[in-house]
């Protein structure tokens, strides 16, 4: 039963993210300062995701190069950093709580699902990777990051920033609470 719930959450995390995104936008209270700081943090998370995606050949191998040498799930770590940046940009405790719950629930499910897949598909390679025995062999490849559709996360990040700026402008809060 738990495995079925984990699988559903892992598969539906993007759709759930859109729902949470709408709720987040409703409760956001952004200012120029919160947007600048939060989106800077989120951009660092996206840079980590691009770096990881440029080393990842999804479902075809266990990747051990780039950030995978040090972090088991750099894409999800990047997503978590992006989520933290979003919470900062929104300047809302309610949004921070929602983002935290979303990330913990969906990314935990995704990691469990992904690890089970890798163990089934690449038992020897995955075990070597988890032990730290595997040697990195790939260089970063921007074309691979694009093939992994990481550009969608970049576009999403830009759209979120624009929506927060629009909301701050519409609410008149762009220049409050420490703006220039």
Domain spans in the chain, listed from the N-terminal domain onward: 2-171
Query: Alpha helices of the chain — where are they, by DSSP H?
Result: 2-27, 32-53, 74-90, 93-121, 123-131, 142-147, 151-171
How far is the CA of 9 from the CAs of 41, 101, 107, 108, 109, in angstroms?
26, 13, 9, 9, 6
pLDDT of residue 77: 97
pLDDT tens, position by position, 29-57? 999 999 999 999 999 999 999 999 999 98
Q: pLDDT at residue 154 above 60?
A: yes
pLDDT of residue 109: 87
pLDDT tens, position by position, 80-89? 999 999 999 9
Average pLDDT over residues 151-159: 95
pLDDT of residue 116: 87
For the entire predicted model, the pTM comes to 0.87
């Amino acid at each position: 039963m738990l495995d079925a719930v984990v699988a559903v959450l892992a598969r539906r995390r993007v759709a759930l993210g859109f729902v949470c995104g709408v709720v987040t936008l409703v409760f956001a209270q952004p200012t120029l300062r919160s947007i600048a700081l939060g989106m800077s943090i989120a951009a660092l998370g996206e840079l980590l995701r691009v770096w990881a995606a440029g080393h990842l050949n999804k479902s075809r191998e266990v990747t051990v190069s780039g950030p995978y040498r040090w972090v088991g799930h750099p894409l999800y770590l990047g997503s978590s950093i992006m989520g933290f940046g979003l919470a900062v940009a929104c300047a809302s405790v309610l949004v921070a709580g929602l983002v935290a719950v979303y990330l913990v629930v969906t990314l935990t499910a995704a990691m469990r699902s992904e690890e089970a897949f890798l163990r089934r598909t690449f038992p020897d390679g995955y075990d070597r990777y988890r032990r730290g025995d595997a040697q990195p062999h790939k260089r970063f490849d921007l074309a691979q990051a694009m093939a992994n559709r990481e550009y969608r996360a970049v576009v999403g990040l830009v759209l979120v920033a624009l929506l927060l700026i629009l909301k701050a402008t519409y609410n008149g809060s762009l220049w409050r609470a420490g703006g220039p």
